[in-house]
Amino acid sequence: MTPDDLVLTPRGLRFHGRLIPCSIGRGGIRSDKREGDGATPRGVHRIVGMFYRPDRLVPPTDWATPIGHRDLWSDDPGDAYYNHHVRAPYGHSHERLRRADRLYDLVLVTDWNWPRAQPGKGSAIFLHRWRKPGHPTEGCIAFAAADLQWIARRIHVNSRLIVR
């Protein structure tokens, strides 16, 4: 492990010498992650992208991508672009990246089941803002806004998220 690794522990996420409170998926941590199970997948996942809302935040890094009105994420296992960034209009099941709430104001994208997604294995394991402390996610890892921004300013592409 290196200081640039994000390590999920039972007490929070360890990164750059800090232990950061976080929430995980309602389905717990699983090795056999499936679409819709609400679980956070066990394993070593790389950070492969970052999105942010330019109307709400300044870019935390020079490699962060602004979220536009048409930005979506495909979550349809039958779609050729399953578990990929897509744009509206889009005929398959998807999740909007530009949300009315603040959950996706800043999103770190992992390589879970990406780039060659296997149907049904699960999509979109993001690091994003939490609804409230301790509130479970649909499988992502969520943080207080200030902690997520602190992480985003220090992380780099291909940093590893280690979930044991």
List pLDDT tens digits, range 22-79.
Answer: 999 999 999 999 999 999 999 999 999 999 999 999 999 999 999 999 999 999 999 9
Q: Residue 147: what residue type? A: D
Domain boundaries of the chain, sorted by first residue: 6-163
| Structure confidence at residue 157 (pLDDT) | 87
Bin 93: left if φ > 0, else alpha if -120 < ψ < 50, else beta.
beta
Residue 162: pLDDT over 90: yes
Fold of 6-163: L,D-transpeptidase catalytic domain-like (2.40.440)
* pLDDT tens per residue, range 113-132: 999 999 999 999 999 999 99
* pLDDT tens per residue, range 78-107: 999 999 999 999 999 999 999 999 999 999
> Are 19 and 9 contacting, i.e. CB atoms less than 8 angstroms apart?
yes
What whole-number distance in Å separates Cα of residue 135 and Cα of residue 29? 15
Give the pLDDT band of residue 158 (cuts 50, 70, 90): confident
